Chain A
Amino acid sequence: MGIRFILLVNKQGQTRLAQYYEYLTLEERRALEGEIVRKCLARTDQQCSFVEHRNYKIVYRRYASLFFLVGVDNDENELAILEFIHLLVETMDRHFGNVCELDIMFHLEKAHFMLEEMVMNGCIVETSKTNILAPIQLMDKAS
């Protein structure tokens, strides 16, 4: 199915955004997030951006205090996912203007809207920033 989940976690390990594309119970999520945070946050810049976890991979990238962690199937193209994370960040940048952790925290709904336009059912649905942001801009105008 490609992407299994997208997690945004700060360096204290607090979840700032979570979107799962396969259903996990709350306990499973908590356990998973704990394990992943433990595994990924301890890594250094000199290490690669891929971590093998259970039967899938985590592709992650760090921006200041925020970690973007994407769980993918083993046959997914790791570098493509790595750049997809950057595309997400650039999209957020375009909307918020130099996005930071607080923007995502306090605009949880906007972050969700963006993700919703970019990923669906674990697959990439749109990569044009203009198209991704169009519905949000429409809404902003309306209100």
Chain B
Amino acid sequence: MALSGMRGLSVFISDVRNCQNKEQERLRIDKELGNIRTRFKNEKGLTPYEKKKYVWKMLYIYMLGYDVDFGHMEAISLISAPKYPEKQVGYIVTSCLLNENHDFLRVVINAVRNDIIGRNETFQCLALTMVGNIGGKEFAESLAPDVQRLLISSSCRPLVRKKAALCLLRLYRKNPDVVNIDGWSDCMSQLLDERDLGVLTSVMSLFVALVSNNNEAYRNCLPKCVKILERLARNQDIPQEYTYYGIPSPWLQVKTTKALQYFPTVEDPNTRRALFEVLQRILMGTDVVKNVNKNNASHAVLFEALALVMHLDAEKEMMSQCVALLGKFIAVREPNIRYLGLENMTRMLLITDVQDIIKRHQTQILTSLKDPDISIRRRALDLLYGMCDVTNAKDIVEELLQYLSTADFAMREELALKAAILAEKFAPDLSWYVDVILQLIDKAGDFVSDDIWYRVVQFVTNNEDLQPYAAAKAREYLDKPALHETMVKVSAYILGEYSHLLARRPGCRPKEIFAIINEKLPTVSKPTVAILLSTYAKIMMHTQPPYPELQEQIWAIFRKYESYIDVEIQQRAVEYFVLSRKGAALVDVLAEMPKFPERQSALLKKAEDAEVDTADQSAIKLRSQQQTSNALVVTDQQHVNGSILGNQLGLVKMPSQKMEASTHNQGLTKENGAVSKVDPEPTPSADLLGDLLGPLAMEGPPAAPVSGEKNMISALEATPDAAGALALATVGDQSNSVQPIVNIAERFHALCLQDSGVLYEDPYIQIGIKAEWRAHHGHLVLFLGNKNTSPLLSVRALILPPSHLKMELSLVPETIPPRAQVQCLLEVVNLRASRDVAVLDFLYKFGTAVVSVKLQLPAVLNKFLRPISVSAEEFFPQWNSLSGPPLKLQEVVRGVKPMSLLEMANLFASLHLGVIPGLDTNPNNLVSCTGFYSEGTRAMLCLGAFACNIAKKGWITVTIGILPYPFHEAEKTVVWLLLIHSFLLVW
């Protein structure tokens, strides 16, 4: 093994390699970093060779995962070096270490441009590559014309032009305006005539990007692509160097075939004939050979050809060839081919009417669900989900349930969700549906979101025939020894409502039902306790006249919870207790729940309509399908559980049942008032849950305005009433016909405390947010999810940053494909403290509706706080040294909602206030220490003391001190105000 040209580098690498453990490695690396730092400091003595060597060492250290926070300037400065070896290192290391937003890059724009327009083609290549890898907006603006010129220049050699093509692709992505569509379609068409396969490979990538954005404009290029494909497929004029195991550049074949999938159809008959000939040749002529590489390469081309045939969906005969091939693939031993077979079969389902043929392979696919390889199992699950219908739902769902008990944790959530959706969508009868969901909860309770059990309750409530069956089932499950809490919830709810229907069966007398439910009470969490209390009240209601013994037992429990710390439970206990003394009136107040209003979902209608015209745009559709299936995995779990399921359920037809006006329950004025308020708008699923929770509320948004009589369970009080102050700015254009289905102000408020969740949702789109905060930096990902089966158009997102924040939003695609989720990055830098809030101005079109909303973004002050842990010895001297205003300010906040000190401490923790437990000897005083970060200043230390007097008087004395002293007076006050403000906001 020849040693590297740089001895010092080799020695260093070998030293690191010989380290016995991580600790030694770290020491060696720290030593080297120290050495490099010193050498860089007295740069005068440094030869270009040494500089180059050190910069490589930096890259090596960085690759090992160690932070290299200096020396960037030295790396960049090498770009301007006159000689190739130094210049090359400068370019490569810069593009590895820095990102496009790095300020240092500005310094070299000129040097880079000089290299690009210069005469030295090796320099041109280096510069184009770096800009292609990390060029940002500024590069796009200043370099695009030069790069274009190189690409189309006839005097440029291929080695420069291929790099220019991909460089332009980068610049185009940074700023689509750099490519003027009118002029470029002709240029592209010429470029596709290129003979050099290296240039053509790069140009094809550029072409795919352009055409995916606007296929209409590049229609003239379609025949050229077919020509390229013909040339490759027939192996005409292909240099040996571009033949891979006898196959003419498989990568270019794949890319070209992909490009063709962006055109909706091929109209010209000659082109069409030529294309189908090529495709036919690929489909028929790909044999399994011994050589793995050749096999893979030819199958890479084959799978891409399959995708194109599916996309064009024209020739019946060819389609059946495809299905036959895929059927063969999913049964082979070679795992890669099996995986791809399953994946492509799933895609195929979406496009054409091949369900019946695919069903023939059901047994094989079910076998793959038990494959030892999780990648294959996932594909099988997706396919089973896609191919399920009324005829095979029972088999598939039961298979999924069986698999659930052994499935890996990574898959259970998705599995549970899919089983629930299928069970509901294709249930042959409702008792089967109830069975499935209860089994699901039993086997994988942790992975069953609340929505699933809400839904089953809803079905049972709406179907009288089902009620005795569901109650009996629920009773059966209660006999099991270890019960998941969700099962306790659903059983308790159902038995509360319907256990009287079982009264004659053994073990189902009210007091037995009560006893078995009550066994669970000591072990369950607060929300479940609340449900159990309601169940007890219901049991009492059903046993009128009361059994004195049972009544005494239940009263004892109500009394026990009368002074319980959780308000919701306390209130229920108090109110049920009082109500239960009203005797017969109790029957009226607590009568059975009326039916849930059945809603004809507008989404469902659209889904049906969209199924009719599925021929076009399938490349996009395919991708979107994949994205949705991944979405289950990517985003915040809690929220995915809820929303995606919700959406799916919203789309689902309820098994035939007629909605009866709930007239027989007129005694229940209040509940009817809430429930029978049928929303004329397409009602999203979240509301369904809201309704379910309304009368039982303890979590989730208030469903409907509850008015009139005393509300026995006050849903409204249970949720923080924070909307008021914030609502003005958030409710966008009043003329919108599309209304949000979440309380925007509440969502904003919640996101001020959490780092991920839903920011906005209406019937068409859901905007989720996931944020990471590091000192004064914020890294937010916006998830824009299209809930429909048609695309959202003219999507526009503008950030209106307040003056104290620097914000940059990545490119938001103009169209969000059906059922797809796109992610946009939003970078935030905090410049100083301010109470202003950034706003996202979001607009999209759906059908004829234009929806425009202004959403406050949770990039608020407390996100730039980082708790600091200090000891009493450190805290109090600092604290005492702050001697009154303006360094230390005090204010009393009154009208604070009652909460325990623990809750208060948790609240502070979510505000990043860093409560230090036990620092103050008085248990009612909370002490906090946190740092506030903004760009260009060092962290500001904020100390706070909170004398809490909530229990008695509902007020808190807030005292806040801020270090360091010389901090700008005005700004300090703002920070202080803001902190106070954010507390008020929460309480």
Task: List A residues at the B interface (Cβ < 8 Å).
Answer: 1-2, 14-15, 17-21, 23, 26, 29-30, 33, 43-44, 46-52, 54-55, 74-75, 77-80, 82-84, 86-87, 100, 102-103, 105-110, 112-113, 116, 120-121, 123-131, 134-135, 138-139, 142-143
| Chain B contacts with A in 769-814, Cβ cutoff 8 A | none
A57 to chain B, nearest CB (A): 9
Determine whether the beta carbon of B169 is less than 8 Å from that of A121.
yes
Q: In the complex, A109→B13 CA distance in Å?
A: 12
Determine whether the beta carbon of B60 is less than 8 Å from that of A121.
no
Residue in A closest to B623 when the chains form the complex, CB atoms: A75
Instruction: From the candidates A15, A17, A110, A124, name the one contacting B205 in the complex (CB within 8 A).
Output: A124
Q: In the complex, A113→B65 CA distance in Å?
A: 21
A101 to chain B, nearest CB (A): 10
Residue in A closest to B376 when the chains form the complex, CB atoms: A48
B843 to chain A, nearest CB (A): 25
B499, CB-defined interface residue at 8 Å: no
Residue in A closest to B159 when the chains form the complex, CB atoms: A131
Q: Which of B110-118, B333-341, B466-474 contacts A (4 or more CB under 8 A)?
A: B333-341
Q: Which of B195-203, B434-442, B534-542, B646-654 contacts A (4 or more CB under 8 A)?
A: B195-203
B286 to chain A, nearest CB (A): 12
Residue in B closest to A112 when the chains form the complex, CB atoms: B92
Determine whether the beta carbon of B201 is less than 8 Å from that of A124.
yes
Measured between beta carbons, the chain B residues less than 8 angstroms from A21 are: 133
B373 to chain A, nearest CB (A): 4
Measured between beta carbons, the chain A residues less than 8 angstroms from B553 are: none
B289, CB-defined interface residue at 8 Å: no
Determine whether the beta carbon of B13 is less than 8 Å from that of A83.
no
Determine whether the beta carbon of A83 is less than 8 Å from that of B17.
no
Determine whether the beta carbon of A108 is less than 8 Å from that of B129.
no
B187, CB-defined interface residue at 8 Å: no
Q: Which of B73-81, B299-307, B863-871 contacts A (4 or more CB under 8 A)?
A: B299-307
Determine whether the beta carbon of B244 is less than 8 Å from that of A106.
no
A32 to chain B, nearest CB (A): 11
| A125-B166 contact, Cβ under 8 Å, with A50-B339, A79-B299, A82-B296 | yes
Q: Can you list 25 residue pairs at the A/B interface with Cβ under 8 Å?
A: A15-B63, A15-B65, A26-B62, A26-B66, A47-B335, A48-B339, A48-B373, A50-B339, A52-B633, A74-B627, A77-B304, A78-B300, A78-B336, A79-B299, A82-B336, A113-B92, A121-B167, A123-B169, A126-B201, A127-B252, A128-B197, A130-B241, A131-B159, A134-B159, A138-B122
Q: In the complex, A18→B338 CA distance in Å?
A: 30
Q: In the complex, A43→B376 CA distance in Å?
A: 13
B250, CB-defined interface residue at 8 Å: yes
Determine whether the beta carbon of B297 is less than 8 Å from that of A108.
no
Other contacts beyond A112-B92, A128-B198: 13, CB < 8 A: A26-B66, A48-B336, A55-B630, A74-B630, A82-B336, A105-B17, A108-B60, A109-B89, A116-B129, A120-B167, A125-B202, A127-B197, A127-B251
| A128-B242 contact, Cβ under 8 Å, with A51-B375, A74-B623 | yes
The 3 closest A-B pairs by CB, nearest first: A79-B300, A23-B99, A48-B335
Determine whether the beta carbon of B626 is less than 8 Å from that of A74.
yes
Determine whether the beta carbon of B67 is less than 8 Å from that of A26.
yes
B337 to chain A, nearest CB (A): 9
Determine whether the beta carbon of A80 is less than 8 Å from that of B251.
yes
B372, CB-defined interface residue at 8 Å: yes
Total number of B residues with any Cβ neighbor in A under 8 Å: 83
| A120-B133 contact, Cβ under 8 Å, with A29-B65, A48-B338, A135-B122 | yes
B162, CB-defined interface residue at 8 Å: yes
Determine whether the beta carbon of A46 is less than 8 Å from that of B293.
no
Q: In the complex, A128→B162 CA distance in Å?
A: 13
Q: In the complex, A137→B255 CA distance in Å?
A: 29
Determine whether the beta carbon of B630 is less than 8 Å from that of A129.
no
Determine whether the beta carbon of A26 is less than 8 Å from that of B65.
yes
Determine whether the beta carbon of A55 is less than 8 Å from that of B250.
no
| A107-B169 contact, Cβ under 8 Å, with A26-B67, A54-B634, A55-B634 | no
Determine whether the beta carbon of B202 is less than 8 Å from that of A123.
yes
Q: In the complex, A74→B10 CA distance in Å?
A: 38
Instruction: From the candidates A50, A127, A138, name the one contacting B242 in the complex (CB within 8 A).
Output: A127
| A87-B244 contact, Cβ under 8 Å, with A125-B166, A139-B85 | yes
Determine whether the beta carbon of A139 is less than 8 Å from that of B201.
no
Instruction: From the candidates A17, A50, A83, name the one contacting B297 in the complex (CB within 8 A).
Output: A83
Measured between beta carbons, the chain B residues less than 8 angstroms from A43 are: 373
Residue in B closest to A2 when the chains form the complex, CB atoms: B205
B116 to chain A, nearest CB (A): 15
Instruction: From the candidates A15, A51, A121, A143, name the one contacting B5 in the complex (CB within 8 A).
Output: A143
| Chain B contacts with A in 119-173, Cβ cutoff 8 A | 122, 125, 129, 132-134, 159, 162-163, 166-167, 169-170, 173
Over the window 64-108 of chain B, the binary record of Cβ atoms lying under 8 Å from chain A Cβ atoms (1 yes, 0 no) is 111100000000000000001100110010001001100000000
Measured between beta carbons, the chain B residues less than 8 angstroms from A18 are: 63
B4, CB-defined interface residue at 8 Å: yes
A53 to chain B, nearest CB (A): 9
Measured between beta carbons, the chain A residues less than 8 angstroms from B129 are: 116, 120
A123 to chain B, nearest CB (A): 4
Measured between beta carbons, the chain B residues less than 8 angstroms from A129 are: 241
| Chain B contacts with A in 612-654, Cβ cutoff 8 A | 622-623, 626-627, 630-631, 633-634
Q: In the complex, A15→B255 CA distance in Å?
A: 30
Instruction: From the candidates A44, A83, A112, A121, name the one contacting B170 in the complex (CB within 8 A).
Output: A121
| A106-B92 contact, Cβ under 8 Å, with A15-B65, A123-B169, A127-B251 | no
Instruction: From the candidates B56, B134, B373, name the one contacting A108 in the complex (CB within 8 A).
Output: B56
Determine whether the beta carbon of B340 is less than 8 Å from that of A108.
no
Determine whether the beta carbon of A55 is less than 8 Å from that of B163.
no
B239, CB-defined interface residue at 8 Å: yes
A87 to chain B, nearest CB (A): 7
Determine whether the beta carbon of B372 is less than 8 Å from that of A46.
yes
Q: In the complex, A116→B300 CA distance in Å?
A: 24
Residue in B closest to A135 when the chains form the complex, CB atoms: B122
Determine whether the beta carbon of A79 is less than 8 Å from that of B340.
yes
Measured between beta carbons, the chain B residues less than 8 angstroms from A20 are: 96
B730, CB-defined interface residue at 8 Å: no
Measured between beta carbons, the chain B residues less than 8 angstroms from A108 are: 4, 9, 13, 56, 59-60, 63
Determine whether the beta carbon of A50 is less than 8 Å from that of B166.
no
Over the window 348-383 of chain B, the binary record of Cβ atoms lying under 8 Å from chain A Cβ atoms (1 yes, 0 no) is 000000000000000000000000110110100000
B756 to chain A, nearest CB (A): 15
| A126-B92 contact, Cβ under 8 Å, with A79-B340, A116-B129 | no
B1, CB-defined interface residue at 8 Å: yes
Measured between beta carbons, the chain A residues less than 8 angstroms from B244 are: 83, 87, 127
Q: In the complex, A132→B100 CA distance in Å?
A: 26
Q: In the complex, A55→B239 CA distance in Å?
A: 37
Measured between beta carbons, the chain A residues less than 8 angstroms from B59 are: 108
Measured between beta carbons, the chain B residues less than 8 angstroms from A44 are: 372
B3, CB-defined interface residue at 8 Å: yes
B249, CB-defined interface residue at 8 Å: yes
Measured between beta carbons, the chain B residues less than 8 angstroms from A110 are: 4
| Chain B contacts with A in 844-896, Cβ cutoff 8 A | none
Q: In the complex, A108→B100 CA distance in Å?
A: 23
| Chain B contacts with A in 203-255, Cβ cutoff 8 A | 205, 239, 241-242, 244, 249-252, 254-255
Measured between beta carbons, the chain A residues less than 8 angstroms from B65 are: 15, 26, 29-30, 33
Q: In the complex, A46→B338 CA distance in Å?
A: 12
Determine whether the beta carbon of A83 is less than 8 Å from that of B634.
no
Measured between beta carbons, the chain A residues less than 8 angstroms from B250 are: 80, 83
Residue in B closest to A56 when the chains form the complex, CB atoms: B630
A84 to chain B, nearest CB (A): 7
Instruction: From the candidates B159, B205, B300, name the one contacting A83 in the complex (CB within 8 A).
Output: B300
Q: In the complex, A77→B339 CA distance in Å?
A: 12
Residue in B closest to A74 when the chains form the complex, CB atoms: B626
Determine whether the beta carbon of A121 is less than 8 Å from that of B133.
yes
Measured between beta carbons, the chain A residues less than 8 angstroms from B239 are: 128
Q: In the complex, A135→B124 CA distance in Å?
A: 13
Measured between beta carbons, the chain A residues less than 8 angstroms from B599 are: none
Residue in A closest to B339 when the chains form the complex, CB atoms: A48
B258, CB-defined interface residue at 8 Å: yes
